[in-house]
Amino acid sequence: GGIITQTPKFLIGQEGQKLTLKCQQNFNHDTMYWYRQDSGKGLRLIYYSITENDLQKGDLSEGYDASREKKSSFSLTVTSAQKNEMAVFLCASSMDWFSSQNTLYFGAGTRLSVL
Amino acid sequence: GDSVTQTEGPVTVSESESLIINCTYSATSIAYPNLFWYVRYPGEGLQLLLKVITAGQKGSSRGFEATYNKETTSFHLQKASVQESDSAVYYCALGNSNNRIFFGDGTQLVVKP
């Protein structure tokens, strides 16, 4: 089996700071995703990447940038952290983009707090 | 748009009791969406519990079952006898024609010994 590794596990930032979250997968999956989850809420899609060097905006892309440097890695940047922001960011991968039947495989998450 | 609504938690049940977590969906982009239940156990990442891609079919895993009901647009999660180890957060999800997955808000299940 494979694994998705997110770093860091916890991220504390200052208002206005640029913050980067990283994700690595060894499934050899084509497609990767970044979701945001606020407390007690479902997952909202920020960015996804169908394949290496591809980037697609999700429903919540404003305030974020993403980069798919290579097939196995997908990073997310919070361009300007908002004061008192607290959320968990989840990275996921799936075999490819061609079917919504595909299972998503998730990392453990990065918990963000902004002071 | 496409969306999923599920039982608001927390849901508390005693060990060996039966469980049902309701999930209803709204799909405007596709007549027969793919339906999923994902689960997050304490200290672990979100993972697939079961999925059903054909209306009228039932999926099962780890003693849980869910039936894809096109008439009532529902995909309720059931288990006849829960265990303490089933304590987790359960998410209903829908896959649409644009290969997007939409998640519900999650239902925390607490199983008392």
User: Over the stretch B11-48, which tens digit does the pLDDT of each residue have?
Assistant: 999 999 999 999 999 998 878 899 999 999 998 999 99
Q: What is the nearest CA distance from B69 to chain A, expressed in angstroms?
A: 17
What residues are paired with A93 via a beta bridge? A32, A105
pLDDT score of B30: 79
Amino acid at A57: K
Is A42 an interface residue toward B (CB < 8 Å)?
yes
| DSSP for chain B, written as a single string | --EEEE--S-EEEETT--EEE-EEEE-SS-SS-EEEEEEE-TTS--EEEEEE-STT-EEEETTEEEE-BTTTTB--EEESS--GGG-EEEEEEEE-TTS-EEE---EEEEEE-
CB burial of A86-105 (b: ≥16 within 10 Å; e: otherwise) equals ebbbbbbbbbebeebebebb
CB atoms within 10 A of CB A40: 11
Q: Find which of A23, A91, A100, A101 to mutate to test the B interface (most B CBs within 10 Å of its CB).
A: A100
Q: Whole-angstrom Cα distance, residue B25 to residue B23?
A: 7
The average confidence (pLDDT) of chain A is 93
Q: What is the nearest CA distance from A60 to chain B, expressed in angstroms?
A: 13
Contacting B residues, span 45-74, partner chain A, CB-CB under 8 Å: 45-48, 51, 53
Find, among A97, A101, A84, the residue nearest to A29 by Cα. A97
pLDDT score of B71: 95
CB atoms within 10 A of CB B59: 20
pLDDT score of A76: 98
Structure tokens at A48: 């996804």
Q: Residue B55: is its pLDDT beyond 80? A: yes
8 A C-beta contact, residue A28 and residue A47: no
- pLDDT tens column, A97-109: 777 778 899 999 9
Q: Whole-angstrom Cα distance, residue A55 to residue A112?
A: 23
Q: Residue A80: is its pLDDT beyond 80? A: yes
Give A84 or A4, the one with higher predicted confidence: A4
Is A86 an interface residue toward B (CB < 8 Å)?
no
Q: Whole-angstrom Cα distance, residue A15 to residue B40?
A: 30
The average confidence (pLDDT) of chain B is 94
- pLDDT tens column, B75-106: 999 999 999 999 999 999 999 877 788 999 99
Question: Locate tokens 């649409």: which residue?
Answer: B96
β pairing state of A10-13 and A110-114:
parallel
Is A109 an interface residue toward B (CB < 8 Å)?
yes
Is A45 an interface residue toward B (CB < 8 Å)?
yes
How far, rounded to the nearest angstrom, does the alpha carbon of residue A36 sit from its chain's CA centroid? Answer: 7
Is A105 an interface residue toward B (CB < 8 Å)?
yes
Q: Whole-angstrom Cα distance, residue A44 to residue A60?
A: 7
Q: What is the nearest CA distance from B112 to chain A, expressed in angstroms?
A: 21
